Amino acid sequence: MHLVQFIHMKLRADCVPCLIERAKFECDLVFGEERAKIAALKAFAKFLADNLSDERTPSFYGTERERMIKRMSGVDDPYLELKKKAEEVAKSLMRYVEKFYASSSDKTEALLRIAAVANAMEYGVRGYEFNNEAFASDFMRMLNEKLHWDKNTIYDALERYDAVLYLTDNAGEVVFDAFVVRELINRGKLVVISPKSEPVLNDATVDDLKDALEFIGIPSSHYASSIEQGRAFILPSGAYVGVSLEEASPEFIRLLRDERFLIIAKGMGNYEGLSEFESTLSGRLLYILKAKCTPVAQSIGVNVGELVAKLVVPHRLPAPCP
């Protein structure tokens, strides 16, 4: 088993300007007047000034930013139009996904690549430019980019676990996730899929997920109202950036702690949140993402922009000399 040092994704100095820039990005989405934008930015800046601590994760501050801007604007889903466009682009690319997967000699690696490339669909990250047109035109090249992954440990985990808890990330991206879920089900896995219970960032909600599942060929009649009834089940993770044990439902936390489940966590928000307690999920937590900012990339040990599939495994000290 590989040696992995747990590096918790706490707030770093580079996170602060990113948090503020994303606040400005969102203010441009929901406010028409400069006065309203300034008021919201002032409120968030004050919150940061009063609460900054390297003991918290960036997702904590991101969640408060989302709630503050939604309260002040009265807009429940600031990213709604961007999400719709991302979903249209994702659906238009599925014929390439199907072809890529069908022609791949290594189906597991193909699924990981599809899931990781899909995580590129992100807006408002400092230093990271994304637009749907460029993503669509560059999609096939991205599928063949370098993938940082622990091949043997991931193969072993996917073979060992018959049940998967799949934590989704962004809208648009969730269409690709639905494809991955379909293939996991075809392998005989029980898959519990966890979108957001309500809008936060551009993350996929329950409705976004249901639409993606329907599009990919998993109609509502094929997923169940309880885990025991079928192969696919929807259980929201909450309305938090990433995962919060304080805010998630008891049922979600129970599944998160259920050692029968392999956890597939998509995206940087889930990485930030889960890294706080990832050692308790060791051996069954698989991060899949595109490293879109320097703090996350440095924490994982990759370059900005690279694709990642990382299984968290126990840290073991070298054996003593005989």
pLDDT tens column, 211-227: 999 999 987 766 666 66
What's the pLDDT tens digit per position in 255-288?
A: 999 999 999 999 999 999 898 888 899 899 999 9
- Residue 219: what pLDDT? 76
Q: In this structure, what token pair is assigned to residue 124?
A: 């408002």
Query: In angstroms, how far is the first alpha carbon of the chain from the final one?
Result: 20
DSSP string, 235-295: ----SSSS--TTTS-HHHHHHHH-TTEEEEEEHHHHHHHHTTSGGGGTTSEEEEEE--SHH
- Residue 226: what pLDDT? 62
Contacts of 308 (CB under 8 A, 6+ apart): 116, 147, 148, 149, 287, 288, 289, 290, 291, 300, 302
Distance, CA of 254 to CA of 235 (rounded, Å): 11
- Residue 124: what pLDDT? 84
- Residue 5: what pLDDT? 40
Distance, CA of 160 to CA of 262 (rounded, Å): 9
Closest CA to 193 of 221, 163, 149: 163
Distance, CA of 40 to CA of 201 (rounded, Å): 16
Distance, CA of 200 to CA of 124 (rounded, Å): 13
Distance, CA of 97 to CA of 110 (rounded, Å): 9
Distance, CA of 76 to CA of 74 (rounded, Å): 6
Instruction: Give the distance between the most distant pair of CA atoms in the chain.
Output: 72
Beta bridge partners of 286: 264, 311
Q: In what order do the strands lie in the sheet with 285-290?
A: 147-149, 307-312, 285-290, 261-266, 163-167, 190-194, 232-234
Q: In this structure, what token pair is assigned to residue 5?
A: 């040092």
Q: Which residues of the chain have pLDDT under 50?
A: 1-7, 316-322
CATH 1.10.8 placement within the chain: 15-73
Q: What angle do CA 30, 244, 278 make, to 5 degrees?
A: 130
Beta bridge partners of 263: 165, 285
DSSP 241: S
Q: Does CATH number 3.40.50.10880 belong to domain 80-312? A: yes
What's the pLDDT tens digit per position in 60-99?
A: 999 999 999 999 999 999 999 999 999 999 999 999 999 9
- Residue 146: what pLDDT? 93
Give me the phi and psi of 274, to 5 degrees please. Answer: -70, -25
In this structure, are strands 307-312 and 285-290 parallel, antiparallel, or unpaired? antiparallel
Distance, CA of 322 to CA of 313 (rounded, Å): 25
Q: What angle do CA 256, 303, 291 make, to 5 degrees?
A: 35
- Residue 114: what pLDDT? 98
Contacts of 3 (CB under 8 A, 6+ apart): 315, 316
CATH 3.40.50.10880 placement within the chain: 80-312
Fold for domain 15-73? Answer: Helicase, Ruva Protein; domain 3 (1.10.8)
Beta bridge partners of 190: 163
